[in-house]
Amino acid sequence: MARIVMKFGGTSVANIERIRNVARHVKREVDAGHEVAVVVSAMAGKTNELVEWTREASPMHDAREYDVVVSSGEQVTSGLLSIVLQSMGVNARSWQGWQLPIKTDGTHGAARIVDIDGTDIVKRMGEGQVAVCAGFQGIGPDNRVATLGRGGSDTSAVAIAAAVKADRCDIYTDVDGVYTTDPRIEPKARRLKKVAFEEMLEMASLGAKVLQVRSVELAMVHKVRTFVRSSFDAPDAPGMGDFDNPPGTLICDEDEILEQEVVTGIAYAKDEAQISLRRVEDRPGVAAAIFGPLADAHVNVDMIVQNISEEGTHTDMTFTVPASDVEKAKAALAAKQSEIGYDVIQSETELAKISVIGIGMRSHSGVAASAFKALSQKGINIKAITTSEIKISILIDGAYAELAVRTLHSCYGLDK
Question: What is the spatial distance between Cα 376 and Cα 207, in angstroms, rounded to a whole number?
Answer: 23
Q: Is 13 annotated as a binding residue?
A: no
Quote the DSSP letter at residue 395: E
CB contact at 8 A, 129 and 82: no
Question: CA 98, CA 6: separation in Å to the nearest integer?
Answer: 19
- Residue 311 assigned ligand-binding role: no
Residue 74 annotated as binding site = yes
Q: Are strands 137-139 and 304-308 parallel, antiparallel or unpaired?
A: unpaired
Closest CA to 374 of 345, 348, 397, 404: 404
Buried b (16+ CB within 10 A) or exposed e, 258-271: eebbbbbbbbbbee
Interior angle at CA 327, CA 45 and CA 274, nearest 5: 95
**What is the Cα–Cα distance from 198 to 377, expressed in whole angstroms?**
31
Do the annotations mark residue 173 as ligand-binding? yes
Pairing of the two strands 137-139 and 249-252: unpaired
The Cα–Cα gap between 230 and 174 comes to: 6
Contact by Cβ (8 Å): 149, 110: yes
Is the separation of the CB atoms in 355 and 264 below 8 Å?
Answer: no
CA gap 416, 409 in Å, rounded: 10
- Amino acid (1-letter code) at residue 125: M
State which amino acid sits at residue 396: I
179 in a labelled binding site = yes
CB-CB neighbours of 114 under 10 Å = 13
Q: What is the Rg, in whole angstroms, of the alpha carbon atoms belonging to the chain?
A: 23
Identity (one letter) of the amino acid at 316? D
The response to whether 145 counts as a known ligand-binding position is no
Q: Report H helices in 258-386.
A: 286-296, 326-334, 337-340, 367-377
The binding site comprises 7-10, 47, 74, 173-174, 179, 184, 209-210
Binding-site positions for ATP: 7-10, 173-174, 179, 184, 209-210
Q: Which residue ranges are tagged as binding site for substrate? A: 47, 74
